[in-house]
């Protein structure tokens, strides 16, 4: 299976800057502040630009990742002398670092969700040819229109995300949960063509047993994933108690 992003990363910053600029203009129009005195509002505008970058990175879903296949070279002499150097990463307030941090976070997110899917013993092994994306069970579009989450950040919570085949995510991404269920389970269209559902068993089980997916469901599922991961780490002696 393949996880990736759908648009070239080099295009992220220009789109984010444009979104941040439009947001700043809207706020100035609402407040009547057409000219901002020099040196004021810097942090607010910088924070807005960073958040726009985060939103752009998190919105990526599919195909611009190029897989570099490992190659095997000639055998080397294990007694060879190597020149090595320490590598230190320094965190800065540079806005470009937001992209780097978000990509690292997303990489760990993808691994966590893959791990979680296979905690179900009945989850079948997926073909490496299947392209997977990150599904927001509670649709982001729903939150943007209804603003029904008491904590808007929950829409990006681990508890609201799951692996989902790209072919299904394209059709189900902006629907309410009650409408998503048919895509999770599979259905027959008006032309009597059968559309297969997802192979992610957790989503099929959720569609079969729940009528909605609410904020409390997001919070509970998030806790379940985190506690389950900690227990897994402890069981495999991967955590130190000191």
User: For the segment 150-173, what is each residue's pLDDT rounded down to a tens digit?
Assistant: 999 999 999 999 999 999 998 888
In a domain, 89, yes or no: no
Give the phi and the psi of residue 171 in degrees, each rounded to 5. Answer: -85, -30
The pLDDT mean for the chain works out to 80
Q: Is 148 exposed, middle or buried (0-12, 13-18, 19+ CB in 10 A)?
A: exposed
Query: What average pLDDT score do residues 45-64 get?
Result: 66
In a domain, 78, yes or no: no
In a domain, 41, yes or no: yes
Nearest one of 55, 43, 44 to 18, comparing CA atoms: 55
On the question of pLDDT at 2 being above 60, the answer is no
In a domain, 241, yes or no: no
Percentages helix, strand, coil for the chain, rounded to the nearest 5?
A: 50, 10, 40
The number of beta carbons lying within 10 Å of the beta carbon of residue 110 is 17
Q: How many domains does the chain have?
A: 1
In a domain, 240, yes or no: no
Question: Domain limits at 99?
Answer: 2-64+95-235
In a domain, 217, yes or no: yes
In a domain, 20, yes or no: yes
């Amino acid at each position: 299976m393949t996880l990736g992003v759908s648009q070239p990363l080099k295009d992220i910053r220009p789109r984010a800057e444009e979104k941040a600029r439009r947001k700043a203009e809207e706020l100035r129009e609402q407040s009547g502040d057409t000219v901002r005195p020099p040196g004021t509002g810097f942090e607010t505008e910088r924070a807005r630009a960073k958040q726009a970058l985060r939103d752009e990175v998190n919105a990526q879903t599919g195909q611009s990742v190029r897989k570099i296949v490992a190659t095997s070279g000639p055998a080397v002499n294990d007694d060879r002398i190597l020149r090595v150097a320490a590598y230190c990463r320094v965190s800065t307030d540079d806005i470009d670092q937001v992209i780097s941090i978000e990509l690292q976070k997303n990489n760990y997110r993808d691994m966590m969700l893959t791990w979680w899917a296979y905690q179900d013993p009945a989850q079948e092994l997926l073909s490496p040819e299947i392209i997977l994306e990150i599904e927001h069970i509670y649709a982001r579009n729903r939150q943007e229109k209804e603003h029904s989450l008491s904590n808007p950040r929950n829409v990006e919570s681990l508890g609201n995300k799951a692996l989902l085949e790209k072919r299904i995510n394209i059709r189900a991404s902006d629907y309410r949960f009650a409408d998503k269920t048919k895509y999770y389970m599979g259905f027959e269209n008006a032309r009597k063509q059968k559309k297969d559902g997802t192979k992610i068993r957790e989503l099929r089980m959720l569609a079969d047993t729940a009528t909605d997916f609410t904020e409390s469901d997001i919070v509970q599922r998030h806790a379940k994933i985190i506690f389950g991961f900690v227990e897994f780490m402890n069981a495999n002696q991967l955590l130190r108690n000191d």
